[in-house]
Every structure is written in structure tokens, then in C-alpha cells.
Amino acid sequence: MIENYTVPHWILFFYIYCFLGWVWESAYVSVCKRKFVNRGFLKGPFLPIYGSGALCILIATIPVRGNIPLMFLVGMVSATVLEYVTGAVMERLFRVRCWDYSDKFLNVNGYICLSSTICWGVMTILVTDVFHVYIERLVMKLDLRVVNYAVLILTPTIAADFVTSFNAALKLRDALIQNDRVRAELEKIIERKNALEAELERLSAQRSAETKSMLETGLEKMAESRNILGAGLEKVAEQKNVLGAEIGKMAGQVQEKTSVFGNSLSEVKEKAYAQIREELQETYIRFGEYKEKLRTSYTKSTRGLLRRNPDAVSRFHKESFAELKQNLIEKLEEIRR
């Protein structure tokens, strides 16, 4: 009967399997989450990966129909390749994984795994020898005009849903990228602040060492002067005056240099800290404004996309994605209240 399929027939089969895939996936995830989850990339009750997988299986197994082992193998391989390509393209495009098999046994980059591959093989036999027999019989009984009308009605509806969901995924990607950029900018400024503090501490230690050395030199000169004073009692008054003048001069120099150094270091510190504080303040303000914008400016479609994919992950933006999901939870709580 496959040779009798027209293009509208294939399109209608695609939509039917998209719907059946959504029923299966939503039921499975809802049971696991213990609440209803409208699973999938689209808002409507359609999962394109299942529709694409079913058509891939039906077309790939045409040459080996009737041979169960070969049908199992061909359908398993073709559907698994489709799942891998779809997962890789979606992650490259949106920077987010709607499904992730990284913790599964014998997975390949988290896009496919042994259990999902075997499931595709089992699904191949079920689709070709069980489900499609009844679906084909039902569809082929319909008048071709009914099939065409059904396709004409469903196609723009699903296309509009796809465009909306695609835009929501792009907005989510842009939010993740922007959030990471702000985080990186903030980290750079904090690193500059820490480096400047370390440099100021080094300068302070260096100046302290110079002051200590100056004082030690002064004490040595004082000791020499005392020795000279003890050598001749007749010069006591003169050496006392010289010693007092020398000590006073050295004390003045030490006090002057210490004061100049203290003022200079304070000015450097204040100037550097003022610049860092200003940059930090501006970045914190931008970061806060951006976080608030993320929290309040979620479109309904973006929130729906995250709700429909509760196990979605992002390898490229782990912290930002976790933060966005937390913001979503807070937003949903506000809506419920």
C-alpha cells in the first residue's frame, strides 16, 4: 500500500505519529513527575521527533519488509541516527538539550544511548506490524479531499506553533549568552580589584621596609655620636648640641618621608579603590537590572518551553540555565498567587 501514498498521506501520517508520540511522552513524564507535563518542543500536542522517527522507520524498512530481524536492525539504526542528528543540531542551535542521556549506559555524547536505541528497534516492529496497519487502514479509507483538508488545516497551525517555539528557544539562548557575559565581566572586575589590593599591600610593605631601614641608619648615627661624645668630656656641650641637631634633623626627615609616603599611598589607594568601586557599582547595577529583566520579562512561550522540558540541561551555560529555571519557578509561584 505504501506505493499508493500521496504527499498529503505522508504529511498526515507524520502529524498522527507526532500526536501519538506526544501522548506517550507526556504520559511517561507525567507519571515520573507525578503531575501533568505537556511534553515537547511545541506548545500543541505534537512531538516532531516521533513523527520524523516513524516516517524514517517506515521508509527505511521498505526493502526488508517481512524480515523481522532486518527490520529491527534497519529501523533501530535509522531512527537512532535521526535522534543523534536532531539532538546535536538543537543543542548547537539553542545551546540547550531537551533530552540528555549522559547518565545512561553506553551513551554517545548524551544524544543517544543503548536503551533508547533498543527502544527504537522495538518501536520499529510495533509501528510497521501493529500500529501502522490500523492507522494506514483508517487513513486510506478517507476521501483524498478529506486528507487534503486535514493537512491544510493542521499545517499552518503546527507551523505557527513551531515558529513561536523556535523564537522562544532563541530568546532563551540569547538570555543564557547575555547572562554569562555579564557574569564574566563581573568576575574580571573582581579580579582587577584583588590584583590592585595585592599591589597596594606590596607597596605598603616596601615603604615600611624603607622607613625601617632609614630609622636603623639614624640609630647607628646616634650610636656613633654617643661614642664621639664619650671620647672627650671637654666637647660634651658641643657634641650634645650636634647630636641634638642631628637627631632632630633625622627625626624631621623620617617624619616628613613617613608623612609623604602615607599621604601618597592613601591617595593611590583612594583613587584606585574609587575607580574599582565605580566599576563594580556599575556592573552590579547592570547585573541586577538584567536579572530583574530576566525574572519579569519571560514571554509566555519561553516559560512554556521550560515547563515542557523539565529535564532540559545546558552544558555551555550551567549556572545561568539553573538561575533561569529558578527564576521560572519564582515567576510561576507569583502567577499562582
Angle at the Cα of 157 from the Cα atoms of 84 and 36, rounded to 5 degrees? 65
Burial of 220 (0-12, 13-18, 19+ CB in 10 A): exposed
DSSP string computed for 280-298: HHHHHHHHHHHHHHHHH--
Of 94-98, 222-226, 239-243, 255-259, the range with the highest mean pLDDT is 94-98
117 has a pLDDT exceeding 70: yes
Of 22-36, 254-268, 287-301, 305-319, the range with the highest mean pLDDT is 22-36
pLDDT averaged over the chain? 80
Cell output for 309 = 522540558
Cell output for 195 = 590584583
- C-alpha distances out from residue 31 to 24, 38, 329, Å: 11, 12, 20
What confidence tier does 141 reach under pLDDT thresholds 50, 70, 90? very high
Q: Which residue has the cell 509561584?
A: 333
Give the whole-angstrom CA distance, residue 183 versus residue 194: 17
Query: How confident is the model over 259-278, as a mean pLDDT?
Result: 62
- Pick the more confident residue, 75 or 297: 75
Which segments of the chain does DSSP mark as H helices, in order? 7-33, 48-60, 68-94, 114-126, 132-141, 144-231, 236-296, 300-308, 318-336
Query: How confident is the model over 304-311, as a mean pLDDT?
Result: 77
Please, which residues have CB within 8 angstroms of residue 310's CB and are 6 or more apart in sequence?
A: 29, 33, 37
Cell output for 20 = 501519538
Which amino acid type is present at position 38?
A: N
150-191 residue pLDDT tens: 999 999 999 999 999 999 888 888 888 887 887 787 778 778
What confidence tier does 233 reach under pLDDT thresholds 50, 70, 90? very low
- Pick the more confident residue, 271 or 309: 309
Query: How confident is the model over 122-132, as a mean pLDDT?
Result: 94
Give the whole-angstrom CA distance, residue 227 versus residue 210: 26
Closest CA to 38 of 299, 298, 310, 300: 310
- Pick the more confident residue, 171 or 58: 58
Given this model, what pLDDT does residue 268 score? 62
Closest CA to 14 of 168, 132, 167: 132
Given this model, what pLDDT does residue 173 score? 87
Q: What are the backbone dihedrals phi and psi of residue 34, each rounded to the nearest 5 degrees, phi first?
A: 60, 30
The pTM of this model reads 0.70
Given this model, what pLDDT does residue 246 score? 63
- Pick the more confident residue, 113 or 323: 113
Sign of CA dihedral 180, 184, 190, 193: negative
208-226 residue pLDDT tens: 676 667 666 766 666 666 6
In the chain, pLDDT over 90 holds for what percent of residues? 39
